[in-house]
């Protein structure tokens, strides 16, 4: 397992500056940053897999269907606002 991480000098300096300004130790900042990034990457991969599964199963909506639905919604709102007036 990776227990040490070598940072480029510029990144290490940025980390030191942020740690000094926020009064948070660099290790804690790194742990939070890595956790947040890994959470995002895991979420992204899961969302992509779910989307691909939808495509594979034929669960798709065409742009024409979207335009038709939006047109109906606009017409309903227009009719509703005319009744209210």
The domain segmentation of the chain, as residue ranges, is 10-84
- Answer yes or no: are the C-beta atoms of 11 and 30 closer than 8 Å: no
- Answer yes or no: are the C-beta atoms of 26 and 16 closer than 8 Å: yes
User: pLDDT truncated to tens, each residue of the chain (85 aa)?
Assistant: 668 889 999 999 999 999 999 999 999 999 999 999 999 999 999 999 999 999 999 999 999 999 999 999 999 999 988 887 7
Total-model pTM = 0.69
Q: Cite the DSSP H helix spans in the chain.
A: 9-22, 26-56, 63-84
- Answer yes or no: are the C-beta atoms of 73 and 67 closer than 8 Å: no
What DSSP designation does 58 have?
T
């Amino acid at each position: 397992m990776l227990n040490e991480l070598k940072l480029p000098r510029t990144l290490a300096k940025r980390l030191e500056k942020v740690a000094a300004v926020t009064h948070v130790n660099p290790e804690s900042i790194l742990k939070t940053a890595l956790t947040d990034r890994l959470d995002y990457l895991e979420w992204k991969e899961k969302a992509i897999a779910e989307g691909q599964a939808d495509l594979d199963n034929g669960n798709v909506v065409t742009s024409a269907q979207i335009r038709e639905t939006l047109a109906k919604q606009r017409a309903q709102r227009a009719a509703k606002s005319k009744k209210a007036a």
